Homo-oligomer: A and B are copies of this chain.
Amino acid sequence: MKVLVIGANGQVGKHLVKFIQESDDLEAKAMIRKEEQASYFKDLGAETVVVDLEDDPDTIAKAFEGVDAVVFTAGSGPNTGPDKTMLIDLDAAVKTIEASKATGVNRYIMISSFDTTREKIQEAPPSFAPYVVAKHYADDWLRKTDLDYTIIHPGRLTNEEGSGQVKAAEEVERGEIPREDVAKVILASLKNDSTIGKEFQVVGGTDKVEDAIAGL
């Protein structure tokens, strides 16, 4: 199964492509923004495709050729303003969902934010609310499709080394999770079709990732 990793050059994305390449039954196609970012992925033996997510849907859809599943782990990042939140976290997400539909790539895994509910929009501080709105509508768009989707809501991301142990459920207490473990959760979700049509929150915990995902 070939997995298009959108936002491959992000920290979760880099871990994920590595894990995918180490899996017997999976291979990665890393979607990156600049050719200069390719060497890390080429060293892992992964295919790369250069796409600007602000491009039009048809151009983006070309990257979906030969792909069996999509993971959206792109984000505008903490150093850009809410203009990029609108263009990447909302609009680019929707464009890739539409590209999945258009190209018949039915499996779509969205890396969302921990809480993207209406309640969260209302209680979020002004600096964070636009991001929650963007993720809220992107998640909503995906839920309303017929795609085989999974929406993953990780807790606060850290750069600590992953433990491979998490707590995952529809709702869990807010907490942290290493980016490496988020990548493991995505990998387990890709390998476990029982996650289709589901969404869940995930933080650091005491269950092995594979068991936590299988038990959802």
Residues of A within 8 A of B (CB): 54-57, 81-83, 85-87, 90-91, 94, 118, 121-122, 126-127, 129-130, 133-134, 137
Please state if B87 and A133 are interface contacts (CB–CB under 8 Å): yes
Closest to A126 in B: B83
Closest to A129 in B: B87
Interchain CA distance A133-B130 in the complex, whole Å: 13
- Given A57-B118, A122-B56, is A86 in contact with B82 using a C-beta cutoff of 8 Å? yes
Q: Which residues of B contact A121 (CB under 8 A)?
A: 91
Interchain CA distance A39-B86 in the complex, whole Å: 36
* Among candidates B86, B118, B126, B137, residue contacting A130 with C-beta atoms closer than 8 Å: B86
Distance from A88 Cβ to chain B, minimum over Cβ atoms (Å): 10
Copies of this protein in the assembly total 2
Query: Which secondary structure dominates chain A's binding surface?
Result: helix
Distance from A215 Cβ to chain B, minimum over Cβ atoms (Å): 34
* Among candidates B57, B86, B122, residue contacting A86 with C-beta atoms closer than 8 Å: B86
In the A-B complex, the 8 residue pairs with the closest CB atoms? A86-B130, A82-B83, A82-B82, A83-B130, A56-B122, A91-B133, A86-B133, A82-B86
Q: Which residues of B contact A55 (CB under 8 A)?
A: 122
Q: Which residues of B contact A122 (CB under 8 A)?
A: 55-56
16 additional A-B residue pairs with CB within 8 Å, beyond A82-B86, A82-B130: A55-B122, A82-B85, A83-B126, A83-B127, A83-B129, A85-B86, A86-B130, A86-B133, A86-B134, A87-B129, A87-B130, A90-B133, A91-B121, A91-B133, A94-B137, A137-B137
Distance from A166 Cβ to chain B, minimum over Cβ atoms (Å): 31
Closest to A121 in B: B91
Q: Which residues of B contact A83 (CB under 8 A)?
A: 81-82, 126-127, 129-130
Q: Which residues of B contact A56 (CB under 8 A)?
A: 118, 122
Distance from A179 Cβ to chain B, minimum over Cβ atoms (Å): 26
